[in-house]
Amino acid sequence: MRVIQREFEAAVGGALIHTVGKAAQNRYLKKSALKAKSAWLPSCSYEMFYLEREAKPIDGKVLDTKDQPAMIFFHGISQRSEDFSALIVSLRIPPHFRILVPEQKGHGKDIERIDSGKYTQPTHKSMLETTCEFLDVVQVGSNTSAFGISLGGGVLYYVAYVRPDIIKRSVLISPAIVPCVDKSLVRGILDGTNNFFCFESREDVKVLFRELSTGRDDTSRKKRDPVPKFFLEAIYRQSKKLAPKGHYKAMLLNLLGSVGLDERQTLSHEPENDSFNANNADPFAAVTDIDPVAKRLVIWPEKDRIINYEQGMDFFEVSLNSDGKFTSKSRTTEFESIPDCGHLFNAEGKIIIDIIRPRVREYLLCYR
């Protein structure tokens, strides 16, 4: 009977994902006017895939590249660039803005290179280097704002530090900055007790979605599982087709190992000299904010079990005043939290993108 039930769940969930879900994404892609492109990065010897919405002239006048307002979106781990299409449409970004959504190494179309032998696992350094070169190759100007969530938030944090000439304002949602990755998550990944999004069993899928809510052990929320069972079965089966077996596990371990994270959440290597860092220091070795002059809004769910809220407060040296407001050591950093919310869902099952959208639009657009 359980086999029959799983087949039914897979059929229902798969049908919804491939019909309703895919149709919705295609509709948003069309409405967003984002077009798939690629750029060759000669210094990194890498072809980077991305989506772009070209800017429209203002009163018939085409702005110079350096003055062209632009907005860049950085996706999370295991995501693809097109996953941002719905958010971009909902933000109602004016047509004179150029929009770019780069696809990070190890994600999306890059996975297709695995069988060709042209694929290498990403590291924090390689994602930073390719993204910085990408900005130059596609000629992004200095009038640029950016949004990043999870892994994308971490990439954006380091890119903004290295290229302050381009990134002038940013929004970071649970940014996966090295010292902010949840200590227990790192420990579980390294000792094999937490497979995270590397689904080796159906239980892994169920546990991950509970962790993406307010935690697997939180029994106070109304819905223990934030998504229906038939979606879990469909997601488990679909994951087997998206990438070769062991790909995501290898990528995850490589990302952790490349910055020297061990099970105690410490950096086990000495800082290296990197050509992309003007100060000749390894930014990934920093345990507190290295970019206190950056203009940014940081939003953190208080029950995030993936990128830890308390570790994030420590990194940005944030304190809570008696009046309930956050104060950061950096005067240009605005820090806000989301009560009773996890990395992707709040306790009521609402997705985080829907929660943060009004504030993101206000910060990125309304100041102009």
Confidence of residue 275 (pLDDT cuts 50, 70, 90): very low
Who wins on pLDDT, 138 or 245? 138
Confirm if 58 and 96 have CB atoms less than 8 A apart. Answer: yes
Cα three-residue angle 331-141-82, rounded to 5 degrees: 90
Q: What integer pLDDT is reported at residue 3 of this predicted model?
A: 45
| Average pLDDT of span 26-31 | 91
Confidence of residue 261 (pLDDT cuts 50, 70, 90): low
Q: What integer pLDDT is reported at residue 21 of this predicted model?
A: 56
Q: What integer pLDDT is reported at residue 60 of this predicted model?
A: 77
Using a pLDDT cut of 90, give the percent of the chain over it.
58
Whole-angstrom Cα distance, residue 239 to residue 200?
10
- Over residues 220-240, the pLDDT tens digits come to 888 889 988 878 888 888 888
- Over residues 164-184, the pLDDT tens digits come to 999 999 999 999 999 999 999
Helix (H, G, I), strand (E, B) or coil at 100: strand
Confidence of residue 207 (pLDDT cuts 50, 70, 90): very high
Inform me whether the pLDDT recorded for 115 exceeds 80. no
Confirm if 232 and 13 have CB atoms less than 8 A apart. Answer: yes
- Over residues 307-322, the pLDDT tens digits come to 999 999 999 999 988 8
Dihedral sign (CA 25, 239, 355, 320): negative
What are the residues facing 109 on neighbouring strands? Answer: none
Q: What integer pLDDT is reported at residue 10 of this predicted model?
A: 40
Phi-psi map region of 57: left, alpha, beta (phi>0 left; psi -120 to 50 alpha) = beta
CB atoms within 10 A of CB 230: 20
Whole-angstrom Cα distance, residue 70 to residue 99?
6
Q: What integer pLDDT is reported at residue 274 of this predicted model?
A: 42
In the chain, what is the greatest distance between 2 CA atoms, to the nearest angstrom?
A: 66
Residue type, position 246, single letter: G
Whole-angstrom Cα distance, residue 83 to residue 233?
21
- Over residues 328-358, the pLDDT tens digits come to 999 999 999 999 999 999 999 999 999 999 9
Whole-angstrom Cα distance, residue 335 to residue 143?
23
- Over residues 77-103, the pLDDT tens digits come to 878 899 999 999 999 999 999 999 999
Who wins on pLDDT, 244 or 14? 244
Whole-angstrom Cα distance, residue 352 to residue 36?
26
- Over residues 130-168, the pLDDT tens digits come to 999 999 999 999 999 999 999 999 999 999 999 999 999
Confidence of residue 277 (pLDDT cuts 50, 70, 90): very low
CATH of 2-183+256-365, one of 3.40.190.10, 3.40.50.300, 3.40.5.10, 3.40.50.1820: 3.40.50.1820
Can you list the alpha helix ranges (DSSP code H) found in 53-143?
Answer: 85-91, 124-137
Q: What integer pLDDT is reported at residue 20 of this predicted model?
A: 46
Q: What integer pLDDT is reported at residue 17 of this predicted model?
A: 45
- Lowest mean per-residue pLDDT among 83-87, 261-265, 299-303: 261-265
| Average pLDDT of span 177-204 | 91
Confirm if 299 and 337 have CB atoms less than 8 A apart. Answer: yes
Cα three-residue angle 161-172-126, rounded to 5 degrees: 50
Angstrom distances, CA of residue 308 to CA of 175, 236, 342: 9, 26, 10
